[in-house]
Chain A
């Protein structure tokens, strides 16, 4: 990603980069610009916190789901049967 030049210091311009900021996908110069703005803007801090929290809650909710125990066993049985057919051909 290219370094962004934030000449026009409106919140809307910074908010477009919040997702990449949270994902650590911004170049360091742009990351610092966004960070500086957040420190001086309560609305943007609230929005960024809310986005970060949504991300954490989503990850936590999805990762609580476990694959059924019989799935790993079913897979190993399939590998065994494939191996047998490999040697019989």
Chain B
């Protein structure tokens, strides 16, 4: 259990009350190790490396300014991701009139029971291209669960949605990814095994 009177806690509490210069050591060790993970996520959320760099910078600046509110001993990685998600949402509102996929609206692919197998020759670029085609609300949850390995509860907290919605978006996002991967691979000639599988009635 966290002891607020332990020497470590007192040092951290004192650090938290310091102006930004005194906090930078703690911020550096707590927040900076997540830079690559935040950047990767931002790249696939906005599908633009340059915009992703700006968003990650903005998220870090917000976190740095608000670091006095961060509770030592809690999950800094999840806290940083929540700030990044908010920055991405501001970015979208600023630049795009984006349409989200209504929860009840299912694409044609999602109605199919068939699950195409993933061929052996699949390349990273095929997977990333298929991922970037998944609608953003679903892509967001797939990235947070499958790549960043956050729990359903952490994702729900980050996005401000119920756990049931996280599960539904994850299931639909994964299904769309599998189907797009199947289409992409067969259209680009990698999927001979997929074709054989379909013809055999698998």
Bound together, the chains give a CA A68 to CA B124 distance in angstroms of: 19
| Interface flags, A62-89, vs B, CB<8A=1, else 0 | 1111111001101100110011001100
Given A25-B151, A54-B177, A57-B122; A19-B167 close (CB under 8 Å): yes
- Verify A83–B20 contact, CB threshold 8 A: yes
Which residue, B38, B146, B147, B149, has most C-beta atoms of chain A within 10 A? B146
Bound together, the chains give a CA A8 to CA B94 distance in angstroms of: 50
Given contacts A55-B174, A58-B127, 17 further A-B contacts (CB under 8 A): A20-B152, A23-B151, A54-B118, A55-B146, A57-B118, A58-B142, A58-B177, A59-B149, A63-B147, A67-B38, A71-B56, A72-B35, A75-B61, A78-B57, A78-B61, A82-B64, A86-B21
* A-facing residues in B76-115 (Cβ within 8 Å): 113, 115
- Verify B40–A19 contact, CB threshold 8 A: no
Residues of B within 8 A of A68 (CB): 49, 53
Residues of B within 8 A of A46 (CB): 117
* B-facing residues in A37-52 (Cβ within 8 Å): 46-47, 50-51
The one of A61, A67, A71, A75 that contacts B128, using a Cβ cutoff of 8 Å? A61
Q: Chain A interface residue count: which class? A: 20 to 34
- Verify A79–B24 contact, CB threshold 8 A: yes
* A-facing residues in B103-161 (Cβ within 8 Å): 113, 115, 117-118, 122, 124-125, 127-128, 131, 142-143, 145-147, 149, 151-152
Bound together, the chains give a CA A12 to CA B152 distance in angstroms of: 23
Residues of A within 8 A of B12 (CB): none
A1 CB to closest chain B CB, in angstroms? 8
| Interface flags, B162-173, vs A, CB<8A=1, else 0 | 000001001100
* Residue A13 at the chain B interface, CB threshold 8 Å: no
The one of B57, B118, B146, B151 that contacts A74, using a Cβ cutoff of 8 Å? B57
Bound together, the chains give a CA A59 to CA B142 distance in angstroms of: 10
Bound together, the chains give a CA A66 to CA B75 distance in angstroms of: 22
B126 CB to closest chain A CB, in angstroms? 9
B76 CB to closest chain A CB, in angstroms? 15
A70 CB to closest chain B CB, in angstroms? 9
B15 CB to closest chain A CB, in angstroms? 15
- Verify B178–A20 contact, CB threshold 8 A: no
Given A25-B152, A58-B131, A82-B61; A65-B174 close (CB under 8 Å): no
- Verify B167–A20 contact, CB threshold 8 A: yes
* Residue B9 at the chain A interface, CB threshold 8 Å: no
- Verify B40–A62 contact, CB threshold 8 A: yes
* Residue A60 at the chain B interface, CB threshold 8 Å: yes
Given A19-B167, A47-B115, A71-B56; A61-B40 close (CB under 8 Å): no
